[in-house]
Amino acid sequence: MAGIQLISSSLFIQSGSVAHFKNGINVTGSFSSSKAIFASEFDGLGTNTTSIPTLNVGKSNEDGTFEEWVTPTNTEIRITASGDFDSFCFIENINSTKRWKTKEKGNSNGLIKKSFYQKAGGYSSAGVYEYLIIANNSTTLKTVVKGTTVTVTNPIAPS
C-alpha cells in the first residue's frame, strides 16, 4: 500500500495474515488489499435478514402443489403463481425471434395482482416453451424471479 493508512479500532487482533476487528473499523484515506476481505456483519444490516419468500409457479394442482405443464397441442393452459407477493409479471421466451416478451402483468403496469397467465387455445406446435415469473412484495420490498416450462406434445393418433 502506498502512502499512510490510519486504521483504528478499540480491539484489533492480527495473527499471521488474518486481522480481526472486534469493535468496528475506521479508515482515513484509502485502503486496498491483494487478498479477499470478509465481513460477517455490517452496521444496520444483520446477517439473519436474507430470507427469500417462496414463489410457486406452474400448473396448480388441487392439493396445493405445483408442477410444470405437460400438455398436448391446442389445449388451453393456465400458468399460476402464488406466494406472499403483491404483483406478478409473466414473460415468455419467444423462440422464433430469440427474445423474451411480457405476456401478462396485471393492470396499472403490474401494480394490481394478476397471479396467472392463460393461453386460450394453447400452442399449435409441439415444443418446450419457457417462462420467467417476476413477483414483488411492496411491503417487504422483496422481488423473486422463477422460471417454469410448458412442454407441448403432439397428441397420439388413434390406431
Average pLDDT, the chain: 76
pLDDT of 18 over the 90 cut: no
Structure confidence at residue 106 as a pLDDT band (50, 70, 90): low
Range of lowest pLDDT (99-103, 121-125, 130-134): 99-103
Domains and CATH numbers, the chain: 1-48 (no CATH), 56-153 (2.60.40.10)
Cα dihedral 20, 24, 26, 32 sign: positive
Residues of the chain with pLDDT > 70: what percent?
Answer: 62
- Helices and strands in the chain: count of H runs, count of E runs: 0, 13
Q: Answer yes or no: is pLDDT of 38 > 70.
A: no
User: How far is the C-alpha of 57 from the C-alpha of 70, rounded, in Å?
Assistant: 14
At residue 64 the predicted structure's pLDDT band, cuts being 50, 70 and 90, is confident
Report the alpha-carbon distance of residue 70 to residue 96 in Å, rounded. Answer: 20
Give residue-wise pLDDT tens across range 125-138. 898 888 889 888 88
SS3 state at 108: helix
Reply yes or no on whether the pLDDT at 140 is more than 70. Answer: yes
Contact by Cβ (8 Å): 144, 135: yes
How far apart CA 92 and CA 39 sit, in angstroms, is 39
